[in-house]
Structure 1
Amino acid sequence: MPRIKIDIPEHFAYSTEITLYLSHMNYAGHLDNALLLSLVSEARARFFMSLDYTELNVEGVGIVVADAAVQYKSEAFHGEVMVVGMSAGDFGSKGCDLLWRMHEKLSQREVARGKTGIVFFDYAARKVAPVPANFRARTQA
């Protein structure tokens, strides 16, 4: 089976730091793969907050995660500070990809990269919604 290969931008529109806790570690003593996605979810929420949005209110509509792909690069350990960079790209009519990269702050060692496909969703109407034009404009600048 071919391995997943994710191309990421050279520069990210947003970045945040997240310290790894013992609760993020697995039985082998390194970052648990399921909890990596939890950290990326936290970074995604912070990304939206940096734009004065929440995941439930982006210009009046929310988001739903449609898919996620991860490419692991190295281990990460308790106490390390991760930097998660994130940018929006590959826009369609109803959603886009959030491309991200996680690296260790001091050594710059890449830990993982990935993309999360999001779809905009009108929670009141319970249906998919178009990408808000202002969100697209603000994140493609």
Structure 2
Amino acid sequence: MFTTQFDPRFMETDALGHINNTVIPVWFEEGRTPIFELFVPQLDLSRWNLILASVHVDFLAQTYYGQPVTIETRITRLGGASFDVSQQVVQDGKITARGKAVMVHFDYEANQSAPIPAPIRTALEAHLSPE
């Protein structure tokens, strides 16, 4: 499991006083950064080899400004060219949102998915935690 901790910013709140629902997918993407680094260690966009095929978010409770949050990120399925990433927002010991993303290892020159290389697969397997 990967964890990312930070303090919500004031600009991420909405008129109702909680974190806006459009912010959670952005936080989830930030939580996937350690996974991105497995594929492209320097995060060099000219060497990028991933695409986001699907993303789903369930909002379970309000998330608030002024209280730190933790994004927990797990690999829950590992296929030949794709993998599932399950994530959750935890604030004050409570899960406030859950999400799932499907990531695909992608060859942009061939414009198609590509098998996940063995060294990266091994690194992903170390974080595999089926649902």
Fold agreement, TM-score > 0.5: yes
Aligned length: 125
2:21 aligns with one of 33, 38, 46:
33
1:131 aligns with one of 116, 122, 130:
116
Instruction: Assess if the C-alpha contact under 8 Å between 1:55 and 1:63 holds in 2.
Output: no
Paired residue secondary structure (1:23):
helix
The answer to whether residue 73 in structure 2 is matched with residue 86 in structure 1 is yes
The answer to whether residue 88 in structure 2 is matched with residue 101 in structure 1 is yes
Residues 43-62 of structure 1 mapped to structure 2, 5 A cutoff: 43-49=31-37, 53=41, 62=49
Q: TM-score, normalised by structure 1?
A: 0.77
Alpha-carbon distance, 1:66 to partner: 0.5
The answer to whether residue 2 in structure 2 is matched with residue 14 in structure 1 is yes
**What percentage of aligned pairs have identical amino acids?**
22
Alignment-mate amino acid for residue 76 of structure 2: G
**Counterpart Cα distance in 2 of 1:51 and 1:123:** 14
Give the aligned CA root-mean-square deviation in angstroms: 2.3
Paired residue secondary structure (1:33):
coil
**Counterpart Cα distance in 2 of 1:95 and 1:51:** 12
**Counterpart Cα distance in 2 of 1:99 and 1:123:** 25
Gaps of 5+ in 2: 127-131
Query: Following superposition, which runs of at least 4 residues in structure 1 exceed 4 angstroms of deviation?
Result: 54-57
Paired residue secondary structure (1:90):
strand
**Counterpart Cα distance in 2 of 1:100 and 1:78:** 20
2:53 aligns with one of 66, 78, 87:
66
Query: For residue 24 of structure 1, what is the aligned residue in structure 2?
Result: 12
Instruction: Assess if the C-alpha contact under 8 Å between 1:48 and 1:54 holds in 2.
Output: no
